[in-house]
């Protein structure tokens, strides 16, 4: 999917969820699409402060959480910090990630180990799960 189409889809999802269009929101989602890896709120803030001098960190943080609530972003905790990644507008189904601990690059894993665990937890009701593999990517090895 083209980057412009992802941006347009994301802006439509924001509008559907009651967020007004702003150049800042478009710039944030564009940045996240282009980064294509998990990034911290601080990284987004530093980028946005270059583009929109004086932007509030709280505004960036609140918008990132709104975007995650609308399922535009995936989140993870990496090294004790919440990180955000563009979710591809639902074009990819259920999946997990390999995350490089050096550069943050991610690779999608298109299988889920939960089938194995469900067999081990007979009679239990599983309400959710997270599965991520951490290591060094090809470039960082």
Instruction: Write out the binding residues for Fe cation.
Output: 94, 129
Instruction: Write out the binding residues for Zn(2+).
Output: 100, 103, 137, 140
Instruction: Write out the binding residues.
Output: 94, 100, 103, 129, 137, 140
* Locus of tokens 């294509």: 36
**Closest among 114, 84, 115 to 99, alpha carbons compared:** 84
CA-atom Rg of the chain in angstroms:
17
CB 48 within 8 A of CB 36: no
């Amino acid at each position: 999917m083209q980057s412009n189409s992802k941006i347009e889809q994301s802006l439509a999802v924001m509008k559907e969820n009651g967020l007004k269009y702003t150049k800042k929101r478009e710039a944030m989602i564009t940045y996240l699409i282009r980064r294509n890896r998990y990034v911290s709120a601080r990284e987004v803030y530093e980028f946005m402060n270059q583009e929109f001098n004086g932007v509030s960190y709280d505004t960036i943080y609140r918008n990132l959480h709104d975007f995650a609530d609308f399922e535009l972003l995936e989140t993870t905790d990496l090294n004790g910090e919440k990180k955000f990644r563009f979710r591809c507008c639902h074009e990819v189904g259920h999946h997990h990630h390999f995350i490089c601990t050096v550069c943050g690059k991610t690779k999608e894993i298109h299988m889920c180990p939960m089938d194995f665990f469900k067999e081990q937890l007979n009679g239990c009701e599983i309400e959710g799960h997270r599965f991520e593999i951490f290591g060094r990517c090809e470039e960082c090895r």
